[in-house]
Every structure is written in C-alpha cells, then in structure tokens.
Amino acid sequence: MDLVLLEKTLLGLFAAIIVAIVVSKLRGKKFKLPPGPIPVPIFGNWLQVGDDLNHRNLTDYAKKFGEIFLLRMGQRNLVVVSSPELAKDVLHTQGVEFGSRTRNVVFDIFTGKGQDMVFTVYGEHWRKMRRIMTVPFFTNKVVQQYRHGWEAEVARVVEDVKKNPESSTNGIVLRRRLQLMMYNNMYRIMFDYRFESEDDPLFNKLKALNGERSRLAQSFEYNYGDFIPILRPFLRGYLKICKEVKERRLQLFKDHFVDERKKLASATSMDSNSLKCAIDHILEAQQKGEINEDNVLYIVENINVAAIETTLWSIEWGIAELVNHPQVQRKLRQEIDTVLGPGVQVTEPDTHKLPYLQAVVKETLRLRMAVPLLVPHMNLNEAKLGGYDIPAESKILVNAWWLANNPENWRKPEEFRPERFLEEESKVDANGNDFRYLPFGVGRRSCPGIILALPILAITLGHLVQNFELLPPPGQSKIDTAEKGGQFSLQILKHSTIVLKPRSL
C-alpha cells in the first residue's frame, strides 16, 4: 500500500512539474521571431534543411522567406541575413551585440575552445589577441617590409613554370606551385623561414596536416551531431580524428618553428628593436604574461588556415576566371604592358597604378568570395534585428555572397566583368565601404588579413598574366569552375590543369 502511495505521489509530482513548465512557457516572454520553415520537436528544421548549409542553399531560403529568416537546427538557432541594411546592423550598428563567435564541436577542438583570435567570444581576450597580432601582421609597415619577398616568390613561380616543358603543352596543376609560394609568403612573416621546394619533407608534412584540418573542419558531415546533442555519440570517431590532427599540428608548430625561434632569440639576445618576424612579437607578449603558450600556438593555427588557404583559394579562382575570359586577360595584359612597359615586372607599388588589375581582383572576390557567409557571428544576449527578437546565443550568418550577387543590387551579377568596378561600381572597395560588397566583412570582427591578401592577389595575377598566356588544356574551351562549399569556404571543386605559354617580353 505504501508503494502504491509513493508511486502516485511521484506521478503527481512529475505531472505538477510538467504543468508548471508549460504554464511558465505560456506566461513567459513571447518572442517575435524571424520567419522560417516550421520546426519539429528535437530536430527543428534539420530534417527539412539537412546539413549542407552552403551560400547557394541559404540564398534559396532567402528568396522564399525574406532577407532575414530563422532556421532551428536542433538546439541551435540559425539566423541568416541577406540585405545590405541588415548586414550593416549586424556588423556595424550593433557590432558589439553581435560581435561574438559561435563555435561548434569541431572548431572547439581546433581552437582550444576559443583560445585563438578568430573564434573567441567578443571581450577582453579577443581585444588582447587582436592587439598582439596587429603589429606583426596587419599594418602597412608589414606590407612594405615583406612585399619584396612576395615579388621574389612569384618570380620564382614564373621561373619554375618556364623550366617545366609540360606547362606550355599539356598544362600543369599550377595550384601546387602557388601553394608553396603562399606558404613561403606567410612563413617569412611568421618565422623568417621559407621552404626550398615542393619536395621539402617538412613542407609536405605541414601541408598534409593543414589539408586534413581543413577537410575535417569545413565538412558539413558533422553538423547533425553539432545541432542535435542526442546524436553526438555517432561523432566519436570523427572527433577523435580531429583531436589527433590538432595535437599533431600544434606539436609540429611548436617543435619545428616556435621552439626553434625561441632558441635563436636567446642565442642572439634580440632586443625589441631587432625583432625580425611576427613570432618574436608574439613570444615577447608571452614573456610579459599577456598570453600563454597555447595562445601562441593557436595564433599560428589561425594564420596557417585563415591567411594561407583563403588567399590561395582566391588566387586559384582568379586564374580560372582569366583562363575562361581571354578578353579580360588580354585587356589586363595590355594595361600592364602600357603602364609599366614590356618586360617590367609588377611590384606592389605598381598595383596602385593599374586600375584594371585592381578591378580583376575585386571582381574575383565578388563572384567567387572565398568566405561567402563570413565567419559566423553570435549575440551573447537577447537582441533585436530587423524588427524581430533574436534569442541569446543565436548563430548569425551574413550571406555576403548573395549581397554581392543579388541582381536587385548588381547589374548582371552572374557575369565575370571587372569593368563594373571602373564604371557603375567605381566607388566600391573591398574594405567594406559598401554593404553590398563585403569579401572581408567589416567592423570589429572583420578579417584584418585584407591588408595582406589584396597586394598578394594583385602581384600574383599581374605576374602570371604579363609572363604567360593562360589557356585551358588541349581539347577544352574552358576549365571547370564547379564550386565546393564548406562551413565557411568557397573553393574550386577540381584543381584545374592550366596551359601557360610563355610570352616574348
């Protein structure tokens, strides 16, 4: 009898708790949420939408639900904005409110739960990391200090291509040689170090680990476990691989680069006036107690991905578009020859005298934006956006690709036409002065790497066009520009074979 009474008491208590929760919900604050597809319990919209949240799929939803819409992906609220006005609100007007970063189960592993700069929440740690990284990486002084090295690296690319008989006949996968160039560009800045060739064992080990990190992080395969915690056990194998890759990468950074630089610094007794590369500044901040050793390694992790890969993707897209638009290539070559003179190689200062080259770079970044959804933002607290209530800790995506490819905002946006930036869009720059065009974002969490990426892009494309005629392989009229989207990335699906016929200069 006592057991029956106890059972009834527990059932009554359970029912009372359920009723209390329901009443609390009904009496609680009623949100005016953005429109979107109707969610189902537990799974939200995941069963309707799936894992592949690329820029084109989200554009299709914007056409259906409007310039702001909400997807409930399991436990996560995903808000997507697709208008210049709302982009300005998220990135500029309410830059503090939406200034944090949402993370996920994989990026938590690769960034030590936000110990880096890119994926940390908005606050004191981010301000400190941004300040420490600005001086050694993101100033005009850095550009002027290293631009001769960039020019030398692309000159070596030209020389190596000319030595390869396949390049002018059947063609080569140029990306492989450009990848070495980009690693050397950034490792010079970071460590005063360069790799001698594509066969360098350390370069190949580093490239393989970074490539595996990129594949694991950019994949949509793990979204289901990130969105829906009850499915997370199915990700154990995936997350184990991520942890192993993370540990091997950080150990490689430490053993071969960071510790070696520490030894050199102690052996030469460098003072603050003799610091030669970025890691010296960062290690000095560590010695002062501003950051710890893990922060140092996660800064190196950020640069390996954010600076090297994204710029390489943009170079590859730019070359593909020039191959497929020979009239643009001819016009660019004519500008360079006319302004500089035949055979005079493009330098960084020259790029400012070549408006069509600048327009080619801008158009590449518009049509083939390397990070089409920017890096996701997050509001730590409840916020308002576009007249709607945004629940705390919502993931905010700005569809920057659609802002720059919406026919309501651009004339014939599907065309690769650099002339638009010399004609109707002549006042638009990549620095975010127009919220229709945000390849690097804008505001507090914008990509500071713009100051490095733009000159490297211009120098590289300029050198290639003035030294070679860029053509598709024999038997093809164009190269394949099918896209491969990722969590944040827009890459070319197939690394194209390019024929490079040397010009007589």
Q: Could you tell me which residues are annotated as the binding site for heme?
A: 447
| Beta pairing, strands 395-398 & 76-81 | parallel
Residues 6+ apart with CB under 8 A from 89: 81, 385, 386
Phi/psi at 264 (5° precision): -65, -40
Residues 6+ apart with CB under 8 A from 81: 67, 68, 87, 89, 90, 385, 386, 396, 397, 398, 399
Q: What is the separation, in whole angstroms, between the first and last Cα of the chain? A: 102
Dig out the tokens for 455 from the structure. 């000159």
Q: Is the dihedral angle over the CA atoms 317, 320, 322, 325 positive or is it negative?
A: negative
Q: How many helices, marked H, and strands, marked E, lie in the chain?
A: 20, 10
Rounded to whole angstroms, the Cα distance separating 379 from 359 reads 35
Q: Choose among 34, 110, 146: nearest CA to 300.
A: 110
The answer to whether 305 and 371 have CB atoms below 8 angstroms apart is no
Binding-site sequence positions: 447
Q: Choose among 181, 155, 141: nearest CA to 315.
A: 181
